[in-house]
Structure 1
């Protein structure tokens, strides 16, 4: 490989390095991972609320059980007093107490039934949220694994290109390397072009007859484009 061929290969390596690096940044897994993480965070937040609601309802139901037990004991005591009392006014008072306790029990039962229905709904929501969380966690794990593998493949390719670049750059003189680096920075990776007929491959501006004749007279394998001043590889054979 002569210096002209080395320059062309050097450009190919640098362009390939840029492409691989940019492709790695644009891998679809990046956006999918961000979306999955956001969805998972939202589900986890909702799950915390749902679990809190479930625990509150369970405590309410336990509280209703205690209230009902207290009311039943009051009802039992009032019923016993009612059966043993002979005083008409006392009997009327006990009857009023029994009615009040009965209504209280009915209210407790109604509130407890409502809480039980809400608990069923909340438990179903918790089950669904847990299932969604598990699905998102699995999806996220798969995406992270896929991204890791693709990034590893990209890194391996970049490592191989870096090694080849060092070998190819050794075939280019220090002066030409400096010239290549300046042009490479100026033209964003398109530092080298070839001459096909009288037209350079990158700037695509046809050379004037005098310019073409001047290049042909010099017959340098590595020259400079008269228009864009890129490194120009010629082939006069």
Structure 2
């Protein structure tokens, strides 16, 4: 393979490597994984709040149940005559029983209103946990898909890099230095070909004298007099 052909192939490889890098950065799985993680983080925050609400309601209901049990036991003790308190009259006993009955009724009332709230919170917790599991599965699927795509890209990069190393080793060091400088300066397009009397990249028509000089030199690799890229001249073009 001639130096001209190797230079053109080197540029093809480098441009393909650039496209491959852009492809890797633009993989849709990357954004989907990030979106799933962001959603999972948000759901986790909501779930923490919901669990806290459920526990508060459960504690409140347990306290109400304990209070009701306590008041009910006192009623039983009064009715059985085992309550350790002297009642001066039946009226005092009836008053205490009525007071306890109101407290028990208040416990029942509060419990009745808290239970629907607990059911709502439990339902919200169940839904949040189900959504968390769904997001975890989605993230795992996208991570696996991303890894598969990246493995394929990595293999392509390895193949291209191996070929690039071979070409660079075959080319003269001076040409490689010029190529790397032009590649950095022009964003990857360091080599252009002569099409008629126009270089393929800068598209500025060569002056007749410049065109004649290039033809007479017989060189396949020269420098564009305008943009200073490496200019490849094939026999057909010259």
Per the normalisation by structure 2, the TM-score is 0.92
Q: Secondary structure at the match of 1:160?
A: helix
Measured on the aligned residues, the alpha-carbon RMSD in Å equals: 1.5
The answer to whether the 8 Å contact 1:216/1:236 transfers is no
Q: Which runs of 5+ in 2 are unaligned?
A: 82-86
Whole-angstrom distance in 2 between the partners of 1:129 and 1:222: 66
Alignment of 1:5 onto 2:5: yes
* Secondary structure of 2:140 counterpart: helix
CA–CA distance in structure 1, aligned partners of residues 56 and 17 of structure 2: 58
Question: 2:45 matched to which residue of 1?
Answer: 45
Whether the 8 Å CA contact 1:29–1:147 is kept in 2: the answer is yes
Deviates more, 1:194-203 or 1:89-98: 89-98
Q: Corresponding residue for 1:164?
A: 163
Q: Deviations 1:132-185 (Å, cap 9, x if unpaired)?
A: 000000001011111111111111111100111122223311221111111111
1:116-135 Cα offsets, whole Å, 9 max, x none, are 11111111011000100000
Q: Offset at 1:236?
A: 2.8
Gaps of 5+ in 1: 82-86
Which whole-Å CA distance do the structure 1 matches of 2:233 and 2:127 have between them?
A: 69
Aligned to 1:115: 114
TM-score (norm 1): 0.92
* Distance in 1 of aligned mates of 2:40 and 2:74: 51
Indicate if the aligned counterparts of 1:2 and 1:171 stay in contact, CA closer than 8 A. no
What residue number does 1:29 align with?
A: 29
**1:169·1:177 contact (CA, 8 Å) conserved in 2?**
yes
The separation in 2 between residues aligned to 1:102 and 1:172, in whole angstroms, is: 101
Name the count of aligned residue pairs.
Answer: 231
